[in-house]
Amino acid sequence: MTRYTIGIDTGGTYTDAVLMETASRRLLRWSKEATTHHDLGIGVDRALRGLFREGVRPEEIGRLSVSTTLATNAVVEGRGARVGLFVLGIVRHFKLPVVANVFLKGGHDITGREEQPLDIEGLVDTVQGLKNEVDAYAVCGAMAIRNPTHELVAEKAIAMIDPKPVFCSHRVSDHPGMKERAATACLHARLMPLMENFLASIRSSMDRLGLACPVTLICGNGQGTGLEEAVQRAAVTMASGPAATARFGASTGIGTALVVDVGGTTTDVCMLRDGQPVMRREGCRIGPWQTHVEAIDMYTAAGGGDSHVVCDSRGNLRLEKTRVQPLAMTR
């Protein structure tokens, strides 16, 4: 019989784990470790081990929920898979921070009718030239949300030349904004291997501890998703950590409130209205990427519990954007 739920949050500074009694929602234990940015799984493993003292058996854990800054930090830092983007149709050219932005003939109009034939020859030639320079592909066709035929043909053509993952925009967004749809597909492609490695490390930690419970990742909209979805649509986990805080705020039953999360590096603030977090209408934006990823409307400020506080010669205090390690966390 399962009695407990485990929650893990990998923040910019610390990795926190909590053990909760599921029925009463009572917090029983907590563990805090420094986030190991070179391998998040190390910090997760240490935090999990801190929960398993006498009296708790692995088979009593019913679920493990994870929130993480992995996707957000990777986007900000420019890490992830090398992506080649194909844009199909008569559209105004735009540029996203990927290995290649390739514009080809094709696409459909708002009714779903073909505007011009897909340039298959140009697509094949370009893939041949790119296959040693990219790790994944994204395809975005004009009005693919009305008719995805050209995206599907392009996906099949790419797969015949290069077996790497292909992400089609009509599968990741049903909104018309083409640049945002392309950015969403690109980010899924870019973040997939990072999320795959992170979740594999969590699974390894669970295996070592004898945990066999289901795992849920918190998405940027505050909802949970399974492991397979988190890998195939990795960008949905952007702003996962702050979203978990907002989700907790909503669980209090308070109708209207500000939820403030003071972390080690940043402070996040969101609004509850009618008991639910307010969502960003335009989708999540991280750095130069405006996407169609559903996310909670969150204000983030540089400054947290570990921020460097400086006292100048006049006795004035100044909060720096950098952080310092607390003596309590030194080993």
**Digit-coded pLDDT (tens) for 135-190:** 999 999 999 999 999 999 999 999 999 999 999 999 988 888 899 999 999 999 99
- Residue 141: its pLDDT value, please? 97
- Count of beta carbons in the 10 Å neighbourhood of residue 266: 21
CA 196 to chain centre: 12
Backbone φ, ψ for residue 279 (5° rounding): -95, 155
Q: What is the pLDDT of residue 299?
A: 84
d(CA 53, CA 61): 13
Instruction: Say how many C-beta atoms besides its own lie within 10 A of residue 43's C-beta.
Output: 23
Name the 3-class secondary structure at 197: helix
Other beta carbons within 10 angstroms of residue 157's beta carbon come to: 18
Quick one: CA dihedral 221, 239, 51, 214, positive or negative? Answer: positive
| C-alpha 211: how far from chain center | 24
| Residues 286/32, Cβ–Cβ less than 8 Å | no
**What residue type is assigned to position 139 of the chain?**
V
Give the pair of three-digit tokens for residue 183.
């950015």
Task: Answer yes or no: are the C-beta atoms of 62 and 2 closer than 8 Å.
Answer: yes
Distance CA 241, CA 261 (A): 10
The pTM (predicted TM-score) of the whole model is 0.81
Are 247 and 240 in contact by the 8 Å Cβ rule? The answer is no
Q: What is the pLDDT along the chain (331 residues), one digit of tens a residue?
A: 679 999 999 887 889 999 999 999 899 999 999 888 888 889 999 999 999 877 788 999 999 999 988 888 888 778 899 999 999 998 888 889 999 999 999 999 999 999 999 999 999 999 999 999 999 999 999 999 999 999 999 999 999 999 999 999 999 888 888 999 999 999 999 999 999 989 998 999 999 999 999 999 999 999 999 988 999 899 999 888 888 889 889 988 999 999 998 877 778 899 999 999 999 888 888 777 888 999 999 887 777 778 888 898 888 988 887 777 776 666 6
Asked whether 261 and 247 are in contact (CB, 8 A), the reply is no
